[in-house]
Amino acid sequence: MFGRDLTCQARWVRWRCAMDLTSSVRTDTLPALGTVVAPGVLALAPYGALFLAAHPRAAAYFAGHEAVSLSVAVMLAIGGGFLVESLGSYVEYYLLDSRHSDRAAMRRGWWRYLRIAWKVEPTGQHYLRRILAIFKFELNGFVATVAALPGLLWMAGSGLVATSAAAGLVLGALAASASLFHAASQTSRLLAQIRSHLLHGVGEPPFADEPCALTE
């Protein structure tokens, strides 16, 4: 009987660890892949292809050293992704924020939201995180697509790809960038609305008994 209890406890511990790992991957790793790594790959891919085409010895070296190739590719993707995210913050501030009907009110709400320390976290906070990940994907995807355009044009001019394929890639990148910018603009407004509704709940039940702290 005692051994059966130990077996059940061990299974329960393994199940909890698996659930924690799955939750961690879902909440941290997947958004990072979509908002940092994927845009970094998209932005640098044309230039990587141009570099390898211009340096066949380097291409042969990377082809024969898969571990080195993978390490370099991962580092470039992550570094490029963070650079894209940094540029995206400027796009958000100077372009997207200006499209709000009342930018000053939006920014006041944003700074007030940043000072909240939730003691009882509302369900809307989880929804906000999900929409924020989508917004980052759209915004960084737009920046990465624009960054890749000169490389695509360079590939077309160098004859690395066929003219029809190059034209299709360039037109596709233009359409994708326009669509992603429009989507990011709409998602930015949705985020502002969610933050506004969350702020209305401060001091109301169930936050009245344990109010959220607004730091000064």
- Which of the four pLDDT bands, split at 50, 70 and 90, describes residue 177? very high
pLDDT tens-digit profile of 1-20?
544 554 555 454 454 554 44
Q: How far are the Cα atoms of 99, 146, 163, 178 from residue 43, in angstroms, in the given order?
A: 26, 8, 21, 16
pLDDT tens-digit profile of 125-169?
989 999 999 999 999 999 999 999 999 999 988 888 888 998 999
Q: CB of 9 within 8 A of CB of 111?
A: no
Structure tokens at 172: 């596709």
Q: CB of 177 within 8 A of CB of 145?
A: yes
C-alpha atoms less than 13 angstroms from C-alpha of 194 in its C-beta half-sphere: 17
Q: Write down the pTM of the prediction.
A: 0.80
